[in-house]
């Protein structure tokens, strides 16, 4: 059995105040800590401000839109999203996009997989898989027409996607998903 350590005034390493009370206070360390606290609270304030502005998704800074040169298709999306959090990808179609009462649009696989497409509204008449994505055909009457896709990305990271109308240049963009 080990010998018990006896603490007396000679072996006690804790600094004493006026040689009376063992406290171990360190005011110099505390002053540094208070300075550090000020820095941390400033950073916290900036984080909240950035969040309010949408720098972490679901806000003004996160919203983005892209259009084809003739404005046939405009895509509203979130350039910054959050994992496991729903967001909406909106496709706005103008008259050049509607042909024979139908809209045909191609969505790359990354919208379905990485960005986690959950639901498409309205439902497409025809869906055809191929060329690294799915081509949807929607019934349409007259412009303006909107198709909304509910997204819920599961994995953090930058995910590029492509949306293209038949006989139109593709719209390419990316969404950065925060954990």
Partner 1 sequence: MPTILRAIIGYFVLLLVVRVLKRRAGAQMTLFEFVLIFLIGGVVILSTVGEDRSVTNCTCAVIAVALIHRTLAWAKSKNPRLGALLDGTPLIIINKGEWQQEVAEGMYLRHEDLEAAARSANIPRVEDIDYAILERNGSISVFPKEQ
Q: What residue ranges bind partner 1 (CB under 8 A)? A: 17-18, 20-21, 23-27, 29-31, 33-34, 36-37, 40-41, 84
Instruction: Please provide the distance, in angstroms rounded to a whole number, between the alpha carbons at the two ends of the chain.
Output: 52
**DSSP codes, 2-42:** PPPPPP-TTT--S-EETTTEE----HHHHHHHHHHHHHHHH
Nearer residue to partner 1 within complex by CB, 44 or 88: 44
- Beta strands 133-139 and 102-108 are antiparallel
Nearer residue to partner 1 within complex by CB, 31 or 99: 31
Q: How far is the CB of 159 from partner 1 (least distance, A)?
A: 17
Q: How far is the CB of 31 from partner 1 (least distance, A)?
A: 8
Burial grade of 48 (CB within 10 A; 0-12, 13-18, 19 or more): exposed
Nearer residue to partner 1 within complex by CB, 37 or 131: 37
Nearer residue to partner 1 within complex by CB, 94 or 150: 150
Q: How far is the CB of 146 from partner 1 (least distance, A)?
A: 29
């Amino acid at each position: 059995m080990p010998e018990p350590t006896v603490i007396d005034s000679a072996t006690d390493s804790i600094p004493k105040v006026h040689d009376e009370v063992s406290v171990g206070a360190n005011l110099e360390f505390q002053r540094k800590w208070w300075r550090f606290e000020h820095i941390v609270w400033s950073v916290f304030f900036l984080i909240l401000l950035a969040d309010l502005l949408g720098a972490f998704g679901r806000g003004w800074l996160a919203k983005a839109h892209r259009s084809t040169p003739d404005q046939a298709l405009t895509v509203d999306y979130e350039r910054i999203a959050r994992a496991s959090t729903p967001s909406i990808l909106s496709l706005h179609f103008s008259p050049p996009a509607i042909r024979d009462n139908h809209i045909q649009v191609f969505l790359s696989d990354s919208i379905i997989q990485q960005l986690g497409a959950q639901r498409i509204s309205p439902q497409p008449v025809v869906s055809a898989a191929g060329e690294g994505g799915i081509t949807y055909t929607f019934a349409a009457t007259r412009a303006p027409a909107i198709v909304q896709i509910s997204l819920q990305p599961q994995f953090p990271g930058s995910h590029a996607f492509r949306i293209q109308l038949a006989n139109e240049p593709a719209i390419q963009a990316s969404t950065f998903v925060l954990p």
